[in-house]
């Protein structure tokens, strides 16, 4: 595949061209509103088309390139995307859910079971050609999009989004988690082959808005006085502002910047998605923290993937 100069890997964690640098301006206060559901079902077809178009232009060397996923090549990630799509159709559309062969009620045991499922599929899928993977993705992707569009966003999901700390999630959040999986894995492929990233606001902002749901559980053990606020600013065309406010013994997520946060964290969009998907260690992240640095640093440990 022809690789454009100045792609997202040059330098590795530089923000996309045209994005603002972190800390350029002090964010203007914006009235806080409760974080609203992030509705993304209409975006799956476009994200699917971007993936298939990308894969069809890869050469043999590209399929074998290493990625940010340890031990997985570009081909392995494409196979993993197919696996998750087929699982979704089988369990949710066709009523054939996977049942762990051992209890997986705890978070760690659930992650271990999912890791084993993923590894089993990747091993088997290495027998398949890239063309077969593309053909199967072309069939499965639109069917998943149709399935997700048929769901009531407010109804209980069949899968909870465990990294939010919830034991029961609404459909919109489970669908949003699925969207972030599609986006992040495709971006990992794009990084590996140095293709342009999916940084346009329409496709990327929902990823960051879903990832923001990882902030309250990250602060679960942090005790502060009622009214204490932590503001996260993600700078860039696809960015946004989210604020955690301590109330009634817990941290609640709001949209907006407010004016009296005890700590303000600023980072660019490229850093944000890599940090919260656990691809960038906090000590390597390009981040500025103003105010209470210890309080703000907690946000850097938020994880919006099953890990």
CATH number assigned to the domain with residue range 212-301, chosen from the 4 options 3.40.30.10, 3.30.1050.10, 3.50.50.60, 1.20.1530.20: 3.30.1050.10
* pLDDT score, position 101: 72
Per-residue confidence (pLDDT) for residue 4, from 0 to 100: 40
pLDDT value, residue 133: 98
The whole-number pLDDT of residue 115 equals 83
Sign of the Cα torsion 251, 226, 258, 15 reads: negative
State how far the Cα of 307 lies from the Cα of 305, in Å rounded to an integer. Answer: 6
Q: How far apart are CA 103 and CA 271, in angstroms?
A: 36
Contact 243, 232 (CB under 8 A): yes
* Domain positions in the chain: 38-198, 212-301
Give the residue carrying structure tokens 């890599």.
274
The pLDDT of residue 118 is 87
pLDDT at 24: 41
Longest dimension (CA), the chain: 58
* Check whether domain 38-198 has CATH 2.30.110.10, yes or no: no
Point out which residues pair with 240 in neighbouring strands. Answer: 234
Residues 227-258: tens digit of each pLDDT: 999 999 999 999 999 999 999 999 999 999 98
What is the rounded CA–CA span in Å between residue 210 and residue 220? Answer: 18
Distance of alpha carbon 153 from alpha carbon 41, whole angstroms: 9
Instruction: State the pTM of this model.
Output: 0.88
> Which tokens go with 112?
């271990």
* Average pLDDT per 10 consecutive residues for the chain, totaling 307 residues: 40 35 49 95 98 98 95 97 97 88 70 86 96 98 98 95 92 98 98 97 98 97 96 98 96 93 98 96 95 97 83
């Amino acid at each position: 595949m022809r690789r454009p100069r100045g792609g997202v890997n040059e330098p590795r964690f530089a923000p996309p061209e045209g994005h603002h640098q972190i800390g350029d301006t002090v964010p203007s206060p914006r009235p806080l509103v409760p974080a609203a559901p992030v509705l993304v079902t209409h975006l799956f077809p476009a994200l699917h088309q971007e993936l298939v178009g990308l894969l069809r232009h890869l050469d043999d060397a590209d399929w074998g390139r290493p990625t940010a996923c340890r031990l997985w090549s570009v081909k392995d990630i494409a196979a993993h995307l197919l696996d998750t799509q087929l699982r979704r159709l089988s369990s949710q559309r066709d009523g054939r859910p996977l049942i762990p062969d051992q209890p997986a009620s705890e978070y760690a045991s659930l992650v271990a079971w999912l890791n084993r499922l993923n590894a089993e599929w990747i091993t088997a899928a290495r027998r398949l050609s890239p063309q077969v993977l593309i053909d199967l993705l072309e069939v499965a992707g639109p069917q998943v999009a149709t399935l997700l569009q048929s769901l009531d966003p407010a109804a209980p999901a069949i899968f909870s989004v465990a990294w939010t700390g919830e034991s029961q999630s609404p459909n919109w959040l489970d669908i949003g988690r699925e969207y972030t999986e599609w986006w992040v894995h495709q971006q990992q492929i794009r990084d590996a082959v140095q293709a342009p990233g999916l940084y346009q606001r329409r496709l990327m902002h929902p990823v960051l808005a879903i990832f923001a749901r990882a902030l309250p559980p990250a602060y679960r053990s942090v005790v502060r006085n009622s009214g204490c606020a932590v503001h996260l600013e993600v700078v860039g065309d696809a960015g946004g502002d989210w604020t955690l406010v301590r109330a009634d013994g817990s941290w609640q997520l709001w949209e907006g910047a407010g004016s009296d946060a005890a700590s303000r964290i600023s980072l660019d969009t490229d850093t944000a998605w890599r940090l919260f998907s656990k691809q960038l260690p906090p000590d390597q992240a390009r981040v500025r923290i103003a105010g209470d640095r210890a309080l703000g640093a907690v946000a850097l440990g938020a994880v919006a993937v099953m890990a």
